[in-house]
Structure 1
Amino acid sequence: MRIDKYLWSVRYYKTRSIATKACKKGQVKVNNTTIKPSREVYPTDKIELRKDQIIYQLTVKDLPPNRVGAKLVDIYRVDTTPKSAFEAKELLKYSKDYYRKKGTGRPTKKDRRDIDDFYDEEE
């Protein structure tokens, strides 16, 4: 089965053409090798894909006959993505909502001081 069809079948991408574009952009790797969308996938292959700033890691268990329901996805893959990848995205999401709303203009002098203090604390 082609890698783009597999990723669409196990519901990582909404359409097969989006999966194909991701492969062409180099966002999908199989066994640590950047691949083309037509690359065949076999059981025990390790897939790494970058989507929404998260690097998902999964292992192919079996090949689905077609697109499967969300409850059946775990039959065909093992998700080995570390939890820290999801935590980093959650922190990023909350920091955007917390600080400034989009379109509120340029930061004030106080805002810039707060930003500087925030980054100084991290170091």
Structure 2
Amino acid sequence: MSPAEQRSVTQARVDSWIWAVRLFKTRSAAAEACRAGHVRVNGTTAKPAQSVRPGDEIRIRHSGLERIVVVERIIHKRVGPPIAAQCLIDRSPPPPPKEVLATLPQRDRGAGRPTKRERRETDRLMGRID
């Protein structure tokens, strides 16, 4: 086996790996999340082509929640859910209870962007500005 072939078995691109283990629906969505800064590998922001190896911790911010996974095995092709589950260790915190989500303020659908006055009121309510 050549050195290039050995390297491909022990490492993969981060966007390809998180797509292959079904953390994102498409590879382009995974690459876009990397470019937007929503993917971190071992605590540093990852570009789509960054290599991952077994033992690396990947933190993904997706749909308002944080997923924390540890690379158990490298794969390059998308596989079924049972095999994908064997390739990672999920250390994500449990999602917040529905009661907590219901108490968070939400803007009415179609209300548009908040005005400067509304944003300041929201900041005061959240304790960001005195």
One fold, TM greater than 0.5? yes
Deviation at 1:72, TM superposition (A): 1.8
Q: Which runs of 5+ in 1 are unaligned?
A: 105-118
Question: Which 4+ stretches in 1 moved above 4 angstroms?
Answer: none
Q: Which runs of 5+ in 2 are unaligned?
A: 1-11, 112-125
Distance 1:49 1:90 in 2: 24
| Conserved 8 A contact 1:61-1:76 | yes
Structure-2 change in CA distance of 1:65 and 1:56 (3 Å)? same
The one of 67, 72, 82 equivalent to 2:78 is 67
Question: Which of 26, 29, 35 pairs up with 1:15?
Answer: 26
Partner Cα distance (1:64, 1:2) in 2: 10
Contact 2:20 2:77 in 1 (8 A): yes
Which protein has the bigger helix share?
Answer: 1
Displacement of 1:89: 6.9
TM-score of the aligned structures, taking structure 2 as reference length:
0.68
Give, as a single letter, the amino acid of the residue that structure 2 aligns with 1:21. Answer: E
RMSD: 2.4
Q: 1:90 to 1:54 in 2, by over 3 A?
A: farther
Contact 2:16–2:76 (Cα < 8 Å) also in 1: no
Counterpart position of 2:56: 45
Q: What fraction of aligned residue pairs are identical, expressed as a percent?
A: 36
What's the CA shift string for 1:54-113, capped at 9, x where partnerless? 111110000124101112222100000111xx1157732x457xx897459xxxxxxxxx
Of 81, 86, 90 in structure 2, the residue corresponding to residue 79 of structure 1 is 90
Q: Say if 1:74 and 1:27 are closer, same or farther in 2 by CA, change over 3 A.
A: same
